[in-house]
């Protein structure tokens, strides 16, 4: 194992300048209940994401619906403010190292020099604390193309107004000059002057997406967030748009954050890829390597379930069981473990996991539970209506993987079962090979995906 | 009947009347489905694949829709067949759900949000399986009184007027249990872990994958001979998509039914279909065994469609996109609809409608490159370059 351990600040790709760096970003939405709107819990849409987007490259962000990828994109665009965490813009390699170093220190312990540096960094590069001027510059520099080109274009505005709006807001052009610039932009995305005085409904899906792209490019940004730009389009049109995006990137030196659920598209388009699951990034690395040799069970399952046009149908020996857990109370340890095919003792089993699996697999036993007295998430006493149910519950626990994680075997006392699990810290993403990051604790231990150790040599 | 087929669509044309003119949504489409076979109908948005599928169950609203021509034959016992488009509506209703059933694209929209899953599925049994319900409740179907049937019907129906059932609560309870058992069995069949709990929940409480399983359970409740799956996994995530398709395949094997997949995703076709029919602008342009068509597409459109799929081996930015966009289908001219986007297009393509020609056994292509000038009686100079039979798309 060649990893750096313990460092929370996963700082991917530190060898290049970054357009945007994220530090421990969290977005929690309160769940309110009752007449008094009491806060009953937090939906952890994004929960502790560190990410660096290297300049001039395409970073693919993949995950299933509800994993928080769109929220993360909106945070980066400044459309959603994070509950906690820092967003840094335009950091050079040295600055990234400084930020990393200073973040791990207590602010009181800073030397005078460090204090100066920190002040300089926060006022100059941190979103939220930088000057209004800088903030405006960031907004100009970072543009978004949204998924649905039908709802993201104002139906009552002409194409000229839609594409020219950013230029007007930032007082770049007006009058004849504006028209000239709009035509230039339209031509750049494969449309023409004749489209300038039409309404969005007069265009097909692909053309609308081109208008969206033209609008995003109006202010000459350095960084474009593409939030599922082609998922509403047909394959043949999708190919046109993807080709256009690549061409524009080469011409204008753009950086892309490509958010998608389509693995084929992401594989084609991106240099690096970050896989998200339940609000966290579980794997990060160069696209080809992640696809050839995934280092997280979730990435492997995602890859294998993607239907392909060639080769033999990939053997889906691994499958996710059950459904996506509740993001209000995500599982402890590694978030995938209750569904993971290779979960082991150290993956973070807790009382909730056992109860959830009982609910799913043996609802009859689950319904006989009267009370659950829990000391904490890892220790609890489950009481049943009758001794028989308690007994079968205990045998069920013993036969599952969770049994290995128990501190001592489940204590069966009449109608109650006492469970006490070993406490496991939350999994953190760590580098285990050059440029390859994974949050799978078993992979971190073995240096390769469980069951694939030998292939690595 | 010499050939063994389950469903035969012959020269089907469906038109829609709109203020701008008549839209030729489906134009002379013919195909057949054999028992137990999986046929995939592939095409892009607006190519008429969903309208074709809905026509099979006669679900296209008239007006504005109109079945302009053609026949849809469903084979029945003793070499008989029924023509769906001209049959009385009562006969069609007997076919729907019983012999042909359908899964829709978005399970969230296809299920009634105001009813529990149990009630929605009960309706199917009340409509189609009354005898079975009565029998399981200990009433002989032949001897059941009208009142018994009525109670069963109402127990199954979502309206649940309890007037009769109150008077005969014992029988009512037995019938309710019989219905619940049938529903639970249907749900358990599709791999839903705890059907009794699911039955009590409303659609919004379930995940997308689970809703689609409920849809499948509902569609398969009466053991249909043909299942039409209209983009069954488009609204689902990839990990769930694979499981749902495998479920359909497994059910198909177990029950020996035929499946008609409607999809835009060619990569699914390869894994899950025996034969494929590619549609473009209301017409079928190519048919054949899925493996062969995907390995060596013959129609320029199929070739373009395959080239447009992003792949890691294609250099970035060089996807073979098809230029232009799909033509308008309002009073379309009599020509090859693909001519405006085709790189081989010649004069003849703009004046002749290409028909499906056999190129190899079991493969057909509608392209003038596989036709001869003599047969079409056009000038030989106007014909597009001839294609080699069985040519592998090198481009």
Please, which residues have CB within 8 angstroms of residue A322's CB and are 6 or more apart in sequence?
A338, A339, A356, A357, A360
* B165 pLDDT above the threshold of 70: no
**Taking CB atoms and an 8 Å cutoff, what residues of chain B touch A240?**
321-323
- B310 and A239 in contact by Cβ < 8 A? yes
Task: Looking at the complex, report in whole angstroms how far the Cα of residue A324 sits from the nearest Cα belonging to chain B.
Answer: 9
Q: Which two tokens stand for residue B278?
A: 């590619």
Strand ranges, E, within A177-271: 223-227, 255-260
Beta partners for residue B31, in sequence order: B9
Q: Which two tokens stand for residue A310?
A: 């060639």
> Does the CB of A267 have a partner CB in chain B at under 8 Å?
yes
* B363 pLDDT above the threshold of 80: yes
> Does the CB of B197 have a partner CB in chain A at under 8 Å?
yes
- The C-alpha atoms of residue B107 and residue B120 are separated, in whole angstroms, by 13
Over the stretch A146-190, which tens digit does the pLDDT of each residue have?
888 788 899 999 999 999 999 998 888 888 899 999 999 999 998
Q: Which two tokens stand for residue A241?
A: 């748009």
Average pLDDT on B132-156 reads: 71
Q: How far is CA A171 from CA A162, A164, A167, A364, B266, in A?
A: 15, 10, 6, 67, 47
Task: Looking at the complex, report in whole angstroms how far the Cα of residue B201 sits from the nearest Cα belonging to chain A.
Answer: 14
Please, which residues have CB within 8 angstroms of residue B92's CB and are 6 or more apart in sequence?
B57, B58, B84
- A250 and B317 in contact by Cβ < 8 A? yes
- The C-alpha atoms of residue A223 and residue A141 are separated, in whole angstroms, by 6
Task: Looking at the complex, report in whole angstroms how far the Cα of residue B297 sits from the nearest Cα belonging to chain A.
Answer: 13
> Does the CB of A242 have a partner CB in chain B at under 8 Å?
yes
* pLDDT for res A456: 43
Please, which residues have CB within 8 angstroms of residue A82's CB and are 6 or more apart in sequence?
A25, A26, A27, A46, A75
Angle B117-128/B208-220 helices, nearest 10 degrees?
10
* pLDDT for res A376: 82
Average pLDDT on B88-116 reads: 87
Angle B208-220/B238-255 helices, nearest 10 degrees?
10
The more confidently predicted of residues B382 and B229 is B229
> Does the CB of B292 have a partner CB in chain A at under 8 Å?
no
For A:343-382, CB contacts with B below 8 A are: 359-361, 363
- The C-alpha atoms of residue A399 and residue A253 are separated, in whole angstroms, by 56
A312: nearest CA partner in chain B: B271
The more confidently predicted of residues B229 and A362 is B229
Task: Report ipTM for this prediction.
Answer: 0.82
* pLDDT for res A312: 55
Question: Which of B207, B267, B311 lies at the smallest CB-CB distance from A307?
Answer: B267
- The average confidence (pLDDT) of chain B is 82
Strand ranges, E, within A113-241: 142-145, 223-227
Suggest the residue from A239, A291, A313 to mutate for an interface test with chain B (most B CBs closer than 10 A). A239
- The C-alpha atoms of residue A373 and residue A381 are separated, in whole angstroms, by 5
The CATH code belonging to domain B7-109+220-278 is 3.40.50.300
- The C-alpha atoms of residue A213 and residue A246 are separated, in whole angstroms, by 12
- B45 and A250 in contact by Cβ < 8 A? no
* Among B244, B228, B277, residue whose Cα is nearest residue B103: B228
- The C-alpha atoms of residue A111 and residue A227 are separated, in whole angstroms, by 42
* pLDDT for res B160: 56
User: Which strand ranges, in their side-by-side order, compose the sheet holding B81-83?
Assistant: B21-33, B7-18, B65-75, B81-83
- B310 and A246 in contact by Cβ < 8 A? no
Angle B169-189/B146-156 helices, nearest 10 degrees?
50
The alpha carbons of chain B give a radius of gyration, in whole angstroms, of: 24
Three-class DSSP category at A365: helix
Burial class (CB in 10 A: 0-12, 13-18, 19+), B329: buried
Q: Which two tokens stand for residue A260?
A: 């998608």
Question: Which of B194, B268, B318 lies at the smallest CB-CB distance from A363?
Answer: B194
- A246 and B317 in contact by Cβ < 8 A? yes
Burial class (CB in 10 A: 0-12, 13-18, 19+), A4: exposed
* Among B226, B238, B242, B331, residue whose Cα is nearest residue B5: B226
- The C-alpha atoms of residue A230 and residue A265 are separated, in whole angstroms, by 9
Three-class DSSP category at A16: coil
- B238 and A263 in contact by Cβ < 8 A? yes
| Cα dihedral across residues A422, A425, A429, A432: positive or negative | negative
Q: Which residue has the tokens 């028909």?
A: B355
Question: Which of B238, B267, B318 lies at the smallest CB-CB distance from A309?
Answer: B267
* Structural contact between residues A116 and A122, judged by C-beta atoms closer than 8 angstroms: no
Q: What is the dihedral of CA B162, B166, B170, B175, to 10 degrees?
A: -10
Q: Which residue has the tokens 């791999």?
A: B191
Q: E strand or H helix at B279, and its extent?
A: strand B275-280
* B100 pLDDT above the threshold of 80: yes
**Taking CB atoms and an 8 Å cutoff, what residues of chain B touch A264?**
267, 309-311
The alpha carbons of chain A give a radius of gyration, in whole angstroms, of: 25
* pLDDT for res A162: 92
* B388 pLDDT above the threshold of 70: no
* Among B208, B41, B218, residue whose Cα is nearest residue B119: B218
A309: nearest CA partner in chain B: B267
- B322 and A236 in contact by Cβ < 8 A? yes
Task: Looking at the complex, report in whole angstroms how far the Cα of residue A95 sits from the nearest Cα belonging to chain B.
Answer: 32
- The C-alpha atoms of residue A234 and residue A155 are separated, in whole angstroms, by 22
- B307 and A265 in contact by Cβ < 8 A? no
- The C-alpha atoms of residue A99 and residue A122 are separated, in whole angstroms, by 9
Q: What are phi and psi of B283, to 5 degrees?
A: -125, 150
* B326 pLDDT above the threshold of 50: yes
> Does the CB of A288 have a partner CB in chain B at under 8 Å?
yes
Secondary structure (DSSP) of B88-138: -HHHHHHHBTTTEEEE-S-HHHHS-TTS-HHHHHHHHHHHH-HHHHHHHTT
Suggest the residue from B50, B107, B192, B239 to mutate for an interface test with chain A (most A CBs closer than 10 A). B239
Three-class DSSP category at A331: coil
* Structural contact between residues B30 and B10, judged by C-beta atoms closer than 8 angstroms: yes
* B221 pLDDT above the threshold of 90: no
- B267 and A206 in contact by Cβ < 8 A? no
Q: What are phi and psi of B150, to 5 degrees?
A: -60, -45
- B310 and A242 in contact by Cβ < 8 A? yes
**Taking CB atoms and an 8 Å cutoff, what residues of chain A touch B268?**
307
Q: E strand or H helix at B298, and its extent?
A: none
For A:84-143, CB contacts with B below 8 A are: none
Please, which residues have CB within 8 angstroms of residue A35's CB and are 6 or more apart in sequence?
none
* pLDDT for res A2: 35
- The C-alpha atoms of residue B125 and residue B178 are separated, in whole angstroms, by 10
Count A/B contacts: CB-CB distance under 8 Å.
112
Task: Looking at the complex, report in whole angstroms how far the Cα of residue A265 sits from the nearest Cα belonging to chain B.
Answer: 6
Average pLDDT on B301-309 reads: 88
Average pLDDT on B345-362 reads: 82
> Does the CB of B258 have a partner CB in chain A at under 8 Å?
no
B303: nearest CA partner in chain A: A236
- The C-alpha atoms of residue B327 and residue B340 are separated, in whole angstroms, by 8
Question: Which of B209, B265, B317 lies at the smallest CB-CB distance from A243?
Answer: B317
- B209 and A267 in contact by Cβ < 8 A? no
- Give start-end residues of each CATH 3.40.50.300 domain in chain B: 7-109+220-278
Question: Which of A267, A359, A360 lies at the smallest CB-CB distance from B312?
Answer: A267
Instruction: Mark the ranges of chain A whose per-residue pLDDT is less than 50.
Output: 1-10, 456-457
């Amino acid at each position: 194992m060649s990893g750096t351990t313990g460092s929370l600040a996963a700082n991917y790709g530190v060898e290049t300048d970054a357009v945007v760096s994220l530090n421990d970003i969290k977005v929690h939405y309160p769940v309110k209940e009752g007449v008094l709107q009491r806060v009953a819990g937090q939906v952890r849409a994004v929960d502790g994401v560190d990410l660096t987007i290297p300049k001039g490259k395409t970073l693919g962000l993949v995950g299933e619906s509800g994993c928080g990828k769109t929220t993360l994109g909106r945070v980066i665009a400044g459309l959603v403010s994070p509950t906690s965490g820092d967003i840094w813009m335009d950091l050079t390699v040295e600055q990234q190292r400084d930020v990393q170093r200073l973040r791990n220190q207590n602010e009181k312990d800073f030397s005078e020099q460090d204090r100066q540096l920190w002040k300089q960094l926060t006022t100059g590069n941190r979103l939220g604390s930088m000057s209004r001027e800088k903030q405006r510059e960031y907004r100009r520099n970072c543009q978004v193309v949204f998924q649905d080109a039908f709802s993201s274009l104002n139906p009552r505005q002409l194409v000229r107004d839609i594409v020219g709006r950013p230029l007007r807001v930032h007082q770049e052009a007006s009058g004849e000059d504006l028209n000239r610039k709009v035509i230039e932009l339209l031509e750049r995305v494969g449309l023409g002057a004749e489209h300038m005085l039409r309404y969005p409904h007069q265009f097909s899906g692909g053309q609308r997406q081109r208008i969206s792209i033209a609008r995003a490019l109006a202010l000459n940004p350095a960084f474009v967030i593409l939030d599922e730009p082609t998922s509403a389009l047909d394959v043949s049109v999708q190919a046109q748009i993807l080709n256009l995006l690549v061409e524009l990137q080469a011409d204008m030196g753009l950086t892309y954050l490509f958010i998608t659920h389509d693995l084929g598209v992401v594989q084609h388009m991106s240099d690096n890829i970050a896989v998200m699951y339940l609000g966290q990034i579980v794997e990060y690395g160069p696209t080809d390597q992640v696809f050839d040799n995934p280092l997280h069970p979730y990435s492997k399952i995602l890859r294998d379930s993607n239907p392909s046009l060639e080769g033999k149908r990939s053997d889906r020996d691994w499958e996710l069981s059950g459904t996506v857990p509740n993001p209000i109370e995500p599982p402890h340890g590694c978030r995938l473990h209750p569904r993971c095919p290779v979960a082991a003792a150290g993956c973070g089993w807790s009382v909730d996991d056992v109860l959830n699996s009982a609910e799913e697999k043996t609802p009859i036993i689950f319904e006989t539970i009267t009370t659950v007295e829990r000391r904490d998430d890892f220790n609890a006493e489950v009481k049943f209506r009758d001794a028989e149910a308690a007994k079968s519950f205990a045998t069920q626990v013993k036969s599952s993987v969770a049994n290995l994680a128990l501190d001592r075997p489940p204590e069966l006392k009449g109608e109650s079962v006492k469970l006490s699990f070993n406490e496991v810290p939350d999994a953190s993403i760590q580098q285990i090979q050059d440029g390859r990051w994974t949050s799978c604790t078993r992979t971190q231990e073995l240096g390769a995906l469980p069951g694939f150790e030998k292939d690595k040599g | 009947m010499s050939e063994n087929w389950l469903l035969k669509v012959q020269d089907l044309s469906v038109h829609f009347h709109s203020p701008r003119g008549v839209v030729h949504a489906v134009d002379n489409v013919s195909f057949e489905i054999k028992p137990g076979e999986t046929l995939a109908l592939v095409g892009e948005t607006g190519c008429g694949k969903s309208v074709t599928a809905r026509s099979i169950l006669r679900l296209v609203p008239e007006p504005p829709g109109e079945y302009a021509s053609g026949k849809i034959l469903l084979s029945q016992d003793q070499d008989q067949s029924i023509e769906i488009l001209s049959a009385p509506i009562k006969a069609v209703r007997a076919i729907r759900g019983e012999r042909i059933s359908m899964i829709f694209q978005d399970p969230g929209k296809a299920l009634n949000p105001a009813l529990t899953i149990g009630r929605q599925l009960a309706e199917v049994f009340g409509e189609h399986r009354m005898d079975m319900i009565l029998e399981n409740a200990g009433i002989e179907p032949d001897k059941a009184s009208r009142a018994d049937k009525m109670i069963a019907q109402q127990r199954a129906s979502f309206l649940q007027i309890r007037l009769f059932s109150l008077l005969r609560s014992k029988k009512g309870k037995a019938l309710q249990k019989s219905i619940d058992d049938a529903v639970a069995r249907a749900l358990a069949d599709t791999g839903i872990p705890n059907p009794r709990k699911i039955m009590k929940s409303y659609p919004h409480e379930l995940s997308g994958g689970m809703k689609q399983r409920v849809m499948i359970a509902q569609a398969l409740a009466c053991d249909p001979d043909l299942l039409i799956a209209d983009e069954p996994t488009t609204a689902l995530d990839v990990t769930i998509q694979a499981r749902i398709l495998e479920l359909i395949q497994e059910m198909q094997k177990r029950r020996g039914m035929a499946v008609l997949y409607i999809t835009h995703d060619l990569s699914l076709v390869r894994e899950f279909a025996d034969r494929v029919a590619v549609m473009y602008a209301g017409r079928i342009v190519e048919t054949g065994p899925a493996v062969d068509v995907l390995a060596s597409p013959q129609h320029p459109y199929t070739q373009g469609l395959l080239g447009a799929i992003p792949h890691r081996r294609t250099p970035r930015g060089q996807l073979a996109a098809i230029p232009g966009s799909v033509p308008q289908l309002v009073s379309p001219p009599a020509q090859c609809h693909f001519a405006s986007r085709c790189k081989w297009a010649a004069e003849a393509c703009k004046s002749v409608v290409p028909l499906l020609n056999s190129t190899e056994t079991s493969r057909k292509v509608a392209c003038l490159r596989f036709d001869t000038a003599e047969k079409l009686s056009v000038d030989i100079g106007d014909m597009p370059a001839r294609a080699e039979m069985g040519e592998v798309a090198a481009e």
